[in-house]
Amino acid sequence: MKVFCGRANPTTGSVEWLEEDEHYDYHQEIARSSYADMLHDKDRNVKYYQGIRAAVSRVKERGQKALVLDIGTGTGLLSMMAVTAGADFCYAIEVFKPMADAAVKIVEKNGFSDKIKVINKHSTEVTIGPDGDMPCRANILITELFDTELIGEGALPSYEHAHRHLVQENCEAVPHRANIYAQLVESRRMWSWNKLFPIRVQTRLGERVIVPPPEMERCPGAPSVCDIQLNQVSPTDFTVLSDVLPMFSVDFSKQVSSSSACHIRQFEPLASGRAQVVLSWWDIEMDPEGKIRCTMAPFWAHTDPQELQWRDHWMQCVYFLPQEEPVLQGSALCLVAHHDDYCVWYSLQRTSPEKNGRVHPVRPVCDCQAHLLWNRPRFGEINDQDRTDQYVQALRTVLKPDSVCLCVSDGSLLSMLAHHLGAEQIFKANHLEDKINVIEKRPELLTSADLGGKKVSVLLGEPFFTTSLLPWHNLYFWYVRTSMDQHLGPGAVVMPQAASLHAVVVEFRDLWRIRSPCGDCEGFDVHIMDDMIKRALDFRESKEAEPHPLWEYPCHSLSEPQQILTFDFRQPVPLQPVRAEGSIKLRRPGRSHGAVLWMEYHLTPDSTVSTGLLKPAEDKGDCCWNPHCKQAVYFFSTTLDPRAPSGGPQAVSYVVEFHPDTGDVTMDFTLSDTPDDGH
């Protein structure tokens, strides 16, 4: 059966109705899931198995049958571990039907059908009794319901219900306990992801400063957690203001509450500074004694950094305080962790909240609208003074005292830069001063009346649009420029004047794992997952490039970066596809995991802004990526196996095509034994 799905095309700006297979959403869910990453997380798997084996032994020692409830079974891996450890029977709950179906097949393939029952329901819908899903309550509770924030996937309500309705009192639980840790820091870099800094503009009349409005300065920011690979943040990017503080614990073997709560930890700052950011992570103890522990601690807080486990399904959290506050070394403060049933947030108090009555403050929510328009990387991009200076220099070369400018980007400050540099009139399309007119229309719908009957002499863009996911989605600027032909005056300047698509072949340190075959996992055959992921990746969109912030995922280049396609914004979008074929020669040894693609915007002939590589790779090929943008990664299917030998292919052949009618960029990369000298 086919269904029609409406979507806004991020490149062309048009609304499209696409015919999709009825299982399209399922395939997308599988393709973009972290199942492969979890199955490759050996530390997680080993610790779970050790904890399960110990729990089964404790139940058996009491002379009881070991009846297991596994909530969120996924592939059924933990249930199979339980049966292997001696459990008498296991009820495996999985709400996502395609995964439940896969779990049934995996359980059957491994010979456990007689001892594992897969139940395709949400755990809150599971019934107990002679005619129910389970004949009686379980005495061992196994779960893997956690996200980077621990409770963001609804772990607390699920545990609360399970203890009330599905498991025996004082049951064994794996994991047994979770512990949340926090560390207070000062970090200009991370704070720039949350607050707009004053922006300095050098003009002919001296320095002008663009300052954020008071409501933005007062705003507590976005309520959502910022989850990142904290191990990739340099220690020089933050100043530690506190020790690592254990904030609170959850005992999963007892009744769990999902009610809102706060947990107070008094501490003395290690240094004076400005409290801005709380770094947070958790660990889980698989046994009551806490001897089997799986931790998400970053390297500086890890008991053994040499055994640090890379994982992408669980990372670390960055929380922003509602406002930065000065702290003095040795002067006692209280860090307060608040949570409801799904979210955690932090506040800093001079005295105990219990004494001043602010035990359960309302979760901070953005009230300035900026945090709804700009995500964290975009805040960092706007606060990048070097980038601003580059745009200012470029604007100086195209602006004249009588320039009439139209700025087309989402939430851009280019209009203010142009104003301070002396443009006569600025129209800001898409979303102060007497010379800046904000036009609340889609730019392609502008009329002459909207522009006051004037012709545009300078069309500006960063380009940045909130709907963009992949680098070339910002080519929407080109479509806007095309629709603006009638409004452009003679000799009108377009900035950026052009863009180019670039690619480099890389070997990832770890990111390859998310697309690596599962095969056998801890002795269990889970090849079915490989088949599911492969089928999902065969669907449109999933099988092509994926957006990833590569500053968080180290890699080194095996080739030199190569320009693939160019786009001339001085001309309208062409009617015919733009195609490029060629090869990329591999110059360094390593495993070719994939190609990274990004856009470079040529503001003027002498000024280029890159959304990808910021400087040439060093001798070893280490890459420095733009931290404000996501790059596109095209994984090579033939090198997903990490056990493949080094060496091999000498070049990567490519066919890349831009389709003007849809705005899509399609691509195909093929490993070849001999390089093609042609491009």
User: What does the domain layout of the chain look like in residue ranges?
Assistant: 3-32, 34-144, 178-372, 384-495, 498-672
pLDDT at 421 over 90: no
* Cα(69)–Cα(57) distance, integer angstroms: 16
108 three-class SS: helix
> What is the per-residue pLDDT across 168-189, written as a single tens digit (0 to 9) for each?
999 999 999 999 999 999 999 9
Contact 376, 430 (CB under 8 A): no
Q: Which residues have C-beta within 8 Å of that of residue 62, sequence separation ≥ 6? A: none
| Given the residues 20, 29, 153, 324, the one annotated as active site | 153
> What is the per-residue pLDDT across 44-66, written as a single tens digit (0 to 9) for each?
999 999 999 999 999 999 999 99
Cα dihedral: 299, 304, 306, 308 (round 10)? -60
Give 678's pLDDT tier (boundaries 50, 70, 90).
very low
CA neighbor of 596 nearest in space, from 468, 533, 490, 502? 502
Give 359's pLDDT tier (boundaries 50, 70, 90).
low
> How high is the pLDDT of residue 19?
52
Concerning whether 144 is annotated as a catalytic residue, the answer is: yes
The arithmetic mean of pLDDT across residues 620-630, rounded, is 94
> How high is the pLDDT of residue 139?
98
> How high is the pLDDT of residue 24?
47
* Cα(594)–Cα(550) distance, integer angstroms: 13
* Cα(366)–Cα(373) distance, integer angstroms: 11
Give how far Cα 263 sits from Cα of 137, 181, 226, 340, 490, Å.
32, 11, 21, 12, 65
* Cα(503)–Cα(623) distance, integer angstroms: 13
Contact 590, 556 (CB under 8 A): yes
Question: What is the strand order of the sheet 138-143 is part of?
Answer: 116-119, 89-93, 67-71, 138-143, 167-174
Side chain identity, residue 241: L
Contact 70, 134 (CB under 8 A): no
> What is the per-residue pLDDT across 247-276, written as a single tens digit (0 to 9) for each?
999 999 999 999 999 999 999 999 999 999
* Cα(123)–Cα(53) distance, integer angstroms: 23
CATH architecture of 498-672: Distorted Sandwich (2.70)
Give the number of C-alpha atoms closer than 13 A to the C-alpha of residue 224, restricted to the C-beta side.
Answer: 10
* Same fold across 34-144 and 384-495: yes
Rg (CA), the chain: 28
> How high is the pLDDT of residue 28?
55
C-beta neighbour count of 108 within 10 angstroms: 15
| Given the residues 94, 144, 172, 462, the one annotated as active site | 144
Lowest mean pLDDT among 133-142, 163-172, 337-346, 613-622: 613-622
> How high is the pLDDT of residue 671?
84
Q: Which residues have C-beta within 8 Å of that of residue 169, sequence separation ≥ 6? A: none
> How high is the pLDDT of residue 361?
65
> How high is the pLDDT of residue 357?
46
Contact 403, 424 (CB under 8 A): yes
Give 452's pLDDT tier (boundaries 50, 70, 90).
confident
In the chain, pLDDT over 70 holds for what percent of residues? 87
Q: Which residues have C-beta within 8 Å of that of residue 12, sequence separation ≥ 6? A: 476, 479, 662, 663
The more confidently predicted of residues 631 and 303 is 631
> What is the per-residue pLDDT across 113-160, written as a single tens digit (0 to 9) for each?
999 999 999 999 999 999 999 999 999 999 999 999 999 999 999 999
Q: Which residues have C-beta within 8 Å of that of residue 502, sequence separation ≥ 6? A: 561, 562, 563, 564, 597, 598, 599, 600, 612, 613
> How high is the pLDDT of residue 364?
86
CATH number of 34-144: 3.40.50.150
Bridge partner list, 652: 584, 671
> How high is the pLDDT of residue 528?
74
pLDDT at 365 over 50: yes
**What is the CATH superfamily name and number for domain 178-372?**
Hnrnp arginine n-methyltransferase1 (2.70.160.11)
For 452: left if phi > 0, alpha if psi spans -120 to 50, otherwise beta; the answer is left
Concerning whether 22 is annotated as a catalytic residue, the answer is: no
Map tokens 């639980």 to a residue.
Answer: 173
Contact 37, 313 (CB under 8 A): yes
φ/ψ (deg, to 5) at 464: -145, 130
Q: For domain 384-495, which CATH number applies: 2.60.40.10, 3.40.50.150, 3.30.460.10, 2.40.160.20?
A: 3.40.50.150
Lowest mean pLDDT among 43-52, 229-238, 410-419: 410-419
